Amino acid sequence: MSADDSSVRTQRDRRIEVANAAWRVIVREGLDRTSMRAIAQELGATTGVVTHYFRDKEAMILFALERVFEHVLVDMQAAAQGLTGLARLEKMICIALPLKMSDKDDWKVWVAFLGYSIGREHLVIEHRKRYDLLRQFISQELTNLQTAKLIRADIDITLEANALIALVDGIGTGVVICPDQFSAKQQRYLVQRHINSLSA
């Protein structure tokens, strides 16, 4: 092994390239038609690459999902920097929305995974882990707001975190199916109104 160098292509980098190719195929063809061969072709390589970097198809699929999810979490954290109060929560939630056209593809992958998980309990569990993380994340923010007396004291934090997730999830799938029904402004308005209704 060579020393750490920013100009070398590490093993993880290559895994990400494969996952990105998978991501593109999922968006274009759907998850159940995302075959090893389709991914390899999208990558301009053969299936040898895919099998070399991932134990099996499911490991690769989960890696691709994890990338989408992690991406959102990081963006939420970054967007929250420097903000406080309700505006901070509002900004964070909005990051998860498909406000831009490009965000829609991430939502396509997310929705595809949700559907693909039905009947595959271990995938449902994987998905649940991410919802749990999100809930934990939002609950933390709500707790801070409650401590600062910016939202009402009688609010059930877990319930409200779930409600926010449900709202975002509903809008996300709504945009995937009916892109014309949710403008960026409308999405923001719905989140803003919901959060303001929690205000003290």
Count of other CB atoms within 10 angstroms of residue 91:
17
The interface region with its own copies, picked from 60-68, 71-79, 88-96, 163-171 by CB under 8 A, is: 163-171
- Considering only residues 25 to 44 of the shown chain, the ones binding its own copies according to CB under 8 A are 26-33
Q: How far is the CB of 84 from DNA (least distance, A)?
A: 44
Residue 25 and residue 4 in contact, taking contact as beta carbons nearer than 8 Å: no
Q: Phi/psi zone of residue 9: left (φ > 0), alpha (ψ -120 to 50 degrees), beta?
A: beta
**Among 18, 19, 53, 117, which residue sits at the site for its own copies (rule: CB under 8 A)?**
117
Q: What is the C-alpha separation between 123 and 58, in angstroms, rounded?
A: 9
Token readout for 43 is 């990558």
- Considering only residues 81 to 110 of the shown chain, the ones binding its own copies according to CB under 8 A are 108-109
Q: Is 181 in the site for its own copies (CB under 8 A)?
A: yes
Q: What is the C-alpha separation between 22 and 28, in angstroms, rounded?
A: 10
Residues that bind DNA (CB under 7 A): 1-2, 8, 11, 14, 33-38, 40, 45-49, 51-53, 56-58
Classify the C-alpha dihedral 77-54-169-28 as positive or negative: positive
Q: Is 184 in the site for its own copies (CB under 8 A)?
A: no
- Which does residue 48 touch among its own copies, DNA, none (CB within 5 to 8 A, set by kind)? DNA
Q: Is 146 in the site for its own copies (CB under 8 A)?
A: no
CA angle 134, 140, 145 (to 5 degrees): 130
Q: How far is the CB of 21 from DNA (least distance, A)?
A: 12
DSSP character at residue 152:
-
Q: Is 170 in the site for its own copies (CB under 8 A)?
A: yes
- Which does residue 176 touch among its own copies, DNA, none (CB within 5 to 8 A, set by kind)? its own copies
Name the one residue in this structure whose structure tokens are 């402004």.
185
Q: How far is the CB of 35 from DNA (least distance, A)?
A: 3
Cα-Cα end-to-end distance for the chain: 57
**Identity (one letter) of the amino acid at 14?**
R
Binding site for its own copies (CB under 8 A): 26-33, 108-109, 111-120, 124, 127-128, 131-132, 135, 158-159, 162-163, 165-171, 173-174, 176-178, 181-182, 186, 189-190, 193, 197
